[in-house]
């Protein structure tokens, strides 16, 4: 890249100084040397910029300005500050509006509002750690920091000026030896190429677990959980033999936020008994904690005021305001050794005495509300995440309310959007431009927009699906869309529904997710407020069309034949979606004999583990965790009029120009030993 310019601001002997630099060569003065290194990477470059001090000094600020063409048809994405922050692609004239003054006292602590001045102008976008400019549907230039552990990187795209600015947090750092100020990946290519390279360079450890499905108590019972409610839901799942992976207890079990060693009166049998009951059903047990905070009425705050981050006036640093708790809550000082020892005791109890397998760790952003002298906020956040991983060992972590860069590679699962609400949007909070708000549509947009992280940085948690019709005002279409998009984009998919309240149809819909697997999102293409998502699984391609808007939408399909609800449709015809509605299609591969789809899985045919044929005999086998009965549609050539499927005779029928077999799918359809396949599978053997 050409004409990249940088500026470092520092203080020496009380005087503020600056030194300009570029990527072409070393810059120096009496105080320091700035050494840029540009490494060729395919695609793109890695920029490593090192500051070598010649005298004692304090770094104050650094910025790097990169010229970039932003044509009118571009889409810009910058990663929002933390889990809950609304993050989406916007056009060059779009904007990130600034938080209304009215909302500041209650909301500003949750996001980056106190750290960044956002004028809210059209065409100016700021985010953290990474961001990109997409100039073609499948071509983008990605900027990604590889050094968030030394400080956060603020990525600002100014579309009208054709510029990306990378501001590296370094305030207060006093380097005594060569200090890596920037380590940045910049690459132009497809989504897969650029994000693939970025995550390679980050060198994250392999994910330690497969994707999961689960149940969480929050989005139905909130802080009102009791041990009876928990047991009731556990039994309801057990009664239907739901093959879930995790059953997770959320906020509401603890004495107070901060007091994690004592259970409240609603759990008289204690949390160990609950974990045992969960294990008795064959599920992993999960528990919610917010390890870095304590609320106003906690014993922790009363007994250990010196364990908290403090303002210059000595008051504890406010970490947020939560009406479900006792108002304001405060940040622990994670560098304090007594705090670390307390947290070790907490996780020892939760993991090794109570035997929980997974912890949902929430409100983590609070660790870096304020940085101690000599450190950056990004460094404190990264060290705090490392500390959690160290004390939790190989147990599973679901991160939440966390700046994403420092969570990369440290948590197994991470919420990548705001909370799902029991309605589509929160108008009041959207009007005041609160980007961390509880909002179903915002959660869905994040699930789509942050898809690049899924399976690379961690498994994305898009937050819950809601299918029940009690206690929420989501329409049936909205619930269908929430279910389908979360199942599409998520690496972990939870619900809080009491499944004993389900109608037959809702239970069928719920069970249609099994077996669950993460999908690779090949493409996400917007059609107004609707999306066409193209996914690939091991041996099939699916199209999910999801309308997040209140108007009908028309979605173009690529040429081809698609299976949809038991029928075949032609890709030449665009798909019409009603407001808020969605659908899932399976694309035919065009093979002679092929599984076109089933009515027994949300992703038609994903319940089939194995499919093979020889001449006119077809055999298929389902996964053990498939739960529904229904029909499979199999495409065959029109040359034979007698087939057998799993040993049973089947006659072809016509669907338009296609010849198909429509055969029943039983709950456990195992292949019947019909002799032919053994011969086909082992042709060399003498029979
Ligand atoms: C438990 C919940 C759930 C949920 C988390 C998190 O006051 N607030 O602004 C606020 C924001 C987020 C929030 C709760 C309150 O949700 O995302 O899944 O675990 O905490 O308290």
Q: Are residue 424 and residue 316 in the same domain, yes or no?
A: yes
400 close to ligand 1 (CB < 6 Angstrom): yes
Q: Are residue 467 and residue 528 in the same domain, yes or no?
A: no
Q: Are residue 188 and residue 327 in the same domain, yes or no?
A: no
Q: Are residue 297 and residue 396 in the same domain, yes or no?
A: yes
Task: Classify residue 350 by its DSSP letter.
Answer: I
Last residue of a domain, one of 169, 202, 235: 202
SS3 133: strand
In a domain, 686, yes or no: no
Q: Are residue 125 and residue 266 in the same domain, yes or no?
A: no
Which ligand 1 atom is the nearest neighbour of the CA of 83? 17
In a domain, 593, yes or no: yes
Query: Which residue among 85, 99, 251, 463 is best mutated to probe the pocket of ligand 1, counting the most ligand atoms within 8 A of its Cβ?
Result: 251
Query: Which residue among 111, 327, 419 is best mutated to probe the pocket of ligand 1, counting the most ligand atoms within 8 A of its Cβ?
Result: 419
pLDDT (tens digit, 9 = 90+) per residue, 381-402? 999 999 999 999 999 999 999 9
- Rounded CA-CA distance 687/678 in Å is 9
Distance (Å) from CA 450 to ligand 1 centroid: 20
Q: Are residue 375 and residue 248 in the same domain, yes or no?
A: yes
In a domain, 376, yes or no: yes
What the block records as the tokens of 543 is 């199209």
Measured by CA distance, the residue closest to atom 7 of ligand 1 is: 322
Distances (CA, A) of 415 to 113, 193, 402, 430, 491: 20, 24, 8, 20, 10
Q: Are residue 106 and residue 238 in the same domain, yes or no?
A: no
322 close to ligand 1 (CB < 6 Angstrom): yes
Q: Are residue 556 and residue 513 in the same domain, yes or no?
A: no
Helix extents (H) in 76-190: 101-107
In a domain, 476, yes or no: yes
Q: Are residue 238 and residue 370 in the same domain, yes or no?
A: yes
Distance (Å) from CA 142 to ligand 1 centroid: 31
Report the pLDDT value the prediction gives residue 668, as an integer from 0 to 100: 61
In a domain, 679, yes or no: no
Q: Give the residues across from 133 on adjacent strands.
A: 76, 141
In a domain, 685, yes or no: no
Measured by CA distance, the residue closest to atom 8 of ligand 1 is: 322
Report the pLDDT value the prediction gives residue 1, as an integer from 0 to 100: 84
In a domain, 676, yes or no: no
Last residue of a domain, one of 202, 224, 250: 202
Q: For position 107, which CATH number holds?
A: 2.60.40
Q: Are residue 540 and residue 460 in the same domain, yes or no?
A: no
Residue corresponding to tokens 């917007």: 526
Measured by CA distance, the residue closest to atom 10 of ligand 1 is: 322
Query: Which residue among 286, 325, 400 is best mutated to probe the pocket of ligand 1, counting the most ligand atoms within 8 A of its Cβ?
Result: 400
461 close to ligand 1 (CB < 6 Angstrom): no
Distance (Å) from CA 487 to ligand 1 centroid: 22
Handedness of CA 250, 256, 260, 261 (dihedral sign): negative
Q: For position 220, which CATH number holds?
A: 3.20.20.70
State the first-to-last Cα distance of the chain, in angstroms, to the nearest integer.
Answer: 66
Q: Are residue 375 and residue 466 in the same domain, yes or no?
A: yes
Report the pLDDT value the prediction gives residue 611, as an integer from 0 to 100: 97
- What is the 3-state composition of the chain as percent helix, strand, coil, each rounded to the nearest 5? 20, 35, 45
Q: Considering its fold, how many domains does the chain have in total?
A: 3
Handedness of CA 407, 362, 127, 191 (dihedral sign): positive
Average pLDDT, 10 consecutive residues per value, the chain (687 residues): 95 98 97 98 98 98 98 98 98 97 96 96 97 98 98 97 98 96 98 98 95 98 98 97 98 98 98 98 98 98 98 95 96 98 98 98 98 96 98 98 98 98 96 97 98 98 97 97 98 98 98 96 97 96 98 98 96 97 98 97 97 97 96 97 96 95 80 41 33
Q: Which domain holds residue 92?
A: 5-202
In a domain, 337, yes or no: yes
Minimal CA–CA distance to 626: which of 609, 639, 610?
609
Measured by CA distance, the residue closest to atom 21 of ligand 1 is: 251
Q: Are residue 437 and residue 511 in the same domain, yes or no?
A: yes
């Amino acid at each position: 890249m050409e004409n990249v310019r940088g500026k470092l601001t520092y203080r020496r002997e009380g005087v503020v100084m600056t030194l300009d630099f570029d990527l072409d060569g070393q810059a120096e003065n009496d105080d320091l040397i700035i050494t840029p290194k540009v490494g060729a990477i395919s695609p793109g470059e890695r920029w490593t910029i090192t500051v070598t001090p010649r005298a004692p000094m304090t770094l104050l600020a650094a910025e790097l300005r990169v010229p970039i063409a932003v044509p009118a048809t571009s889409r810009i994405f910058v990663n929002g500050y933390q889990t809950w922050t609304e993050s989406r692609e916007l056009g060059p004239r779009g904007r990130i509006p600034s938080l209304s003054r009215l909302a500041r006292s209650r909301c500003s602590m949750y996001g980056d509002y106190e750290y960044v001045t956002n004028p809210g102008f059209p065409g100016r976008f700021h985010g953290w750690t990474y961001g990109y400019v997409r100039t073609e549907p499948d071509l983008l230039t990605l900027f990604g920091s590889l050094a968030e552990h030394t400080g956060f990187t603020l990525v600002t795209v100014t579309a009208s000026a054709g510029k990306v600015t990378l501001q590296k947090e370094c305030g207060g750092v006093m380097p005594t030896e060569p200090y890596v100020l920037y380590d940045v990946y910049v690459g132009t290519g497809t989504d897969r190429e650029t994000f693939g390279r970025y995550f390679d360079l980050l060198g994250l450890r392999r994910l330690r677990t497969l994707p999961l499905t689960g149940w969480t108590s929050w989005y139905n019972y909130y802080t009102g959980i009791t041990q009876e409610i928990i047991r009731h839901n556990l039994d309801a799942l057990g009664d239907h033999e739901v093959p879930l992976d995790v059953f997770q207890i959320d906020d509401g079990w603890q004495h107070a936020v901060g007091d994690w060693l004592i259970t409240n009166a609603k759990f008289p049998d204690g949390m160990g008994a609950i974990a045992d009951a969960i294990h008795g059903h064959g599920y992993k047990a999960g528990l919610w904690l917010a390890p870095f905070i304590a609320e106003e009425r906690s014993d922790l705050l009363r007994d250990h005021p010196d364990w908290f981050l403090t303002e210059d006036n000595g008051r504890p640093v406010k970490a947020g305001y939560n009406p479900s708790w006792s108002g304001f809550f405060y940040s622990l000082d994670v560098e304090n050794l007594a705090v670390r020892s307390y947290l070790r005791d907490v996780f020892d109890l939760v993991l090794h005495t109570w035997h929980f397998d997974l912890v949902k760790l929430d409100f983590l952003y609070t660790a870096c509300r304020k940085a101690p002298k000599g450190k950056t906020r990004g460094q404190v956040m990264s060290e705090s995440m490392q500390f959690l991983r160290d004390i939790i060992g190989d147990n599973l972590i679901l991160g939440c309310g966390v700046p994403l860069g420092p969570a990369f590679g440290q948590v197994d699962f991470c919420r990548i959007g705001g909370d799902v609400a029991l309605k589509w949007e929160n108008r009041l909070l959207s009007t005041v431009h609160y980007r961390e708000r509880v909002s179903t549509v915002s959660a869905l947009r994040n699930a789509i927009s942050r898809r690049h992280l899924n399976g690379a940085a961690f498994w994305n948690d898009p937050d819950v699906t809601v299918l029940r019709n009690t206690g929420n005002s989501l329409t049936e279409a909205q619930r269908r869309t929430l279910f389908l998009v979360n199942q599409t984009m998520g690496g972990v998919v939870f619900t809080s529904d009491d499944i004993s309240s389900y109608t037959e149809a809702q239970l069928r819909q719920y069970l249609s997710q099994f077996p669950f697997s993460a999908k690779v999102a090949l493409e996400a293409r917007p059609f107004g407020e609707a999306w066409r998502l193209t996914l690939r699984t091991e041996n099939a391609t699916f199209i999910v069309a999801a309308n997040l808007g209140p108007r009908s939408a028309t979605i173009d399909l690529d040429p081809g034949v698609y299976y949809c609800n038991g029928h075949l449709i032609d890709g030449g015809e665009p798909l019409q979606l009603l407001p808020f509605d969605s659908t899932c299609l399976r694309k035919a591969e065009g093979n002679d004999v092929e599984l076109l789809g089933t009515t027994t899985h949300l992703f038609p045919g994903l319940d089939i583990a194995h499919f093979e044929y020889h001449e006119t005999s077809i055999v298929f086998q389902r996964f053990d965790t498939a739960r529904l009965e229904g029909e499979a549609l199999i495409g065959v050539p029109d040359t034979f009029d007698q087939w057998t499927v799993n040993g049973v005779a089947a006659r072809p029928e016509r669907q338009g120009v296609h010849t198909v077999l429509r055969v029943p799918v039983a709950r456990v359809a195992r292949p019947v030993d019909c002799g032919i396949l053994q011969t086909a599978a082992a042709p060399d053997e003498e029979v």
